[in-house]
Amino acid sequence: MIRSVHGKLAAIMLALFSILGFILIIITLFSNRMYFQEASQRLNRSIAKELVSHRVIIKDGGVNEPVMVEIYNDLHQVDPGVQVYVLDRFGHILASSVRSDELLLEHVALEPIFMFNSRKGKLPIYGDDPMDLNHRTIFSACPIPTKGDVEGYLYITLGEGEDVSIGKMLAASHIARLSIYYALLGLLLVSITGLILFNYLTRRLRKLTSSIETFMPPDDGEISLPEDAEKKIPRDEIEKLQMVFDAMAKRIKKQVWDLEDGDRLRRELVTNISHDLRTPLTSLQGYLETLLLKKNLSDEERERFLETALKQSDRLRRMVADLFELSQLDAHGVRTHPEPFSVCELAQDIIQKFQLSADKKGVRLISDFSSHLPLVVADIGLMERTLENLVKNALQYSSDGGIVTISIHQEDEEMVVQVQDTGPGILKEDLPHIFNRYFRAGDSAEDAPEGTGLGLAIARRIVNLHEGELEVLSTVGIGTVFSFRLPVLSQERMACGTDS
């Protein structure tokens, strides 16, 4: 609940309302207390003046004790918290209604009394409480006598000071308690209303998040969230929506890139086909036109021209087939179908297939591997095409007396397949380009006119399709070695296949 936007908003709202309610309650209680004190002091403002006007409090330079007792008794019947003090004109306490041992002050500040009698200060006005050093209280005061030279002051504390606690006020006032109850009830009703409104306002956000999640396809291994987001638990709907949006944006970018890449590959294919087919078509057209124009050709010359035209036609056929295969590999249109097989048996079949061609060139085609090597897992058809291209390339660049070797050995959990020749080798500056289309190292193109120039490019794409890399090592004058690696069939997978 707290992880959702609705939950967070509700928690924040409740916290704010609680703080606001607490502040309002404190302000209300404080205001009520201040109002009560102001009303009490205003109501009793003239009490001291009335007493001084009608009674003789200071007589013959001293305090009239019987009058003091009478004043205290009258006031105490009305308010038991009232205390009466007689001050001299400097504020010293001359007499009081309390015992002398209860007095903690011998002197009362006169500034509040002056302010009270001048009627310039705003009520409530607080004065000293002789019975409490830390307590200030509301009062009523009047100079003695009311007219003429001041001999002293009648100072009456009203028994409700500024330090009255809220707890005491609540305990003593039913109205105050009732106000608190109503305030809490109002806060509860507002909170419930806010929760309902937040739930209503955020339901569209939750619906949008759910709709986007439903729209997103299952993860197919190609489109996924960033690594840091995959382990991250969304804190609310907004962050969840952000994560889903990022995944959708990533998917859309990849789809746009795939479309652009596919369009680029199609344009390249059209360009390459028009360029690659021009040479054999031109050659084929030239020989056929010669046969048509020259009527006096001998049978031997006519046969030679026809053989050349047939050879160009066959080269054109092979080039079209290679171009189509390479374009499919470049456009990711070929899917592998891995299965366990013996790469040694496959290599032996390749050797038998090219043995006749090797014998015609005077090249020895030999094998270097054990028949007891474990099985590998790969697409056997694509691996056959790879080995054919590598062996064909090795034979093309090997002269009479050369050797082409297919060697296979195991390294840890991989099988290393190598095709080695004793040809002229490849220059160091040519090595980065040998997998490019139609690239021929040095002047060797004249030594292998029957090649299409696409074999190595196709072989590399196939190895890459198996998540491998076609590597090459070459030394000028000694020969070249092409190698790649295939995964060995594991015991777990072999057991799984047996159970199946």
pLDDT at 63 over 50: yes
Q: Give the list of residues 6+ apart from residue 164 with CB closer than 8 angstroms, or none.
A: 33
Class of domain 337-499: alpha beta
Residue 446 has a pLDDT of: 44
Burial code (b: 16+ CB inside 10 Å, e: under 16) for 89-118 equals eebebbbbbeeeeeeebeebebebbeebbe
Residue 305 has a pLDDT of: 80
Residue 11 has a pLDDT of: 76
* The dihedral sign for the CA sequence 260, 266, 269, 274: negative
Residue 390 has a pLDDT of: 93
> Tens digits of per-residue pLDDT, 110-138?
999 889 888 877 888 899 989 888 888 89
Strands 83-88 and 62-63: unpaired
Amino acid at 304: R
Range with lowest mean pLDDT among 30-44, 151-165, 212-226, 302-316: 212-226
pLDDT at 419 over 90: yes
Q: Which ranges of 334-483 would DSSP assign to H, the alpha helix?
A: 343-361, 380-396, 455-465
> Tens digits of per-residue pLDDT, 23-46?
877 777 777 777 778 888 888 888
Model pTM above 0.85 = no
Among candidate residues 453, 482, 457, the one with its CA nearest the CA of residue 470: 482
In this prediction, residue 248 has a pLDDT band, given cuts at 50, 70 and 90, of: confident
Q: Which CA distances in Å does 432 have to 339, 391, 495?
A: 32, 20, 42
Residue 145: cis peptide before it, omega within 30 degrees of 0:
yes
Q: Which CA distances in Å does 129 have to 43, 140, 159, 495?
A: 20, 12, 9, 99
Residue 29 has a pLDDT of: 72
Q: How far is CA 33 from the centre of its chain?
A: 54
pLDDT at 329 over 60: yes
Residue 17 has a pLDDT of: 75
Q: Which CA distances in Å does 218 have to 124, 165, 245, 248?
A: 74, 66, 15, 12
CATH of domain 55-160: 3.30.450
DSSP secondary structure code for residue 369 in this structure: -
pLDDT at 344 over 90: yes
Residue 499 has a pLDDT of: 39
Of 464 and 174, the structure prediction assigns the larger pLDDT to 464
Residue 195 has a pLDDT of: 76
* The dihedral sign for the CA sequence 85, 86, 92, 93: negative
> Tens digits of per-residue pLDDT, 194-247?
778 877 777 777 777 777 666 655 554 444 444 454 455 666 667 777 777 788
Q: Where are the beta strands (DSSP E) in 145-301?
A: 152-161
Residue 16 has a pLDDT of: 81
Residue 405 has a pLDDT of: 95
Calculate what percentage of the chain has a pLDDT beyond 70: 79
Of 186 and 492, the structure prediction assigns the larger pLDDT to 186
pLDDT at 457 over 90: no
DSSP secondary structure code for residue 410 in this structure: E
Residue 359 has a pLDDT of: 92
What residue has token string 């997998």? 435
Calculate what percentage of the chain has a pLDDT beyond 90: 18
Of 106 and 323, the structure prediction assigns the larger pLDDT to 106
What residue has token string 């918290």? 81
Residue 330 has a pLDDT of: 66
3-state secondary structure of 341: strand
Mean pLDDT of 174-181: 72
Of 371 and 471, the structure prediction assigns the larger pLDDT to 471
pLDDT at 258 over 50: yes
In this prediction, residue 172 has a pLDDT band, given cuts at 50, 70 and 90, of: low
Can you tell me the distance from the alpha carbon of 436 to that of 454, in angstroms, rounded to the nearest whole number?
A: 8
Can you tell me the distance from the alpha carbon of 69 to that of 64, in angstroms, rounded to the nearest whole number?
A: 9
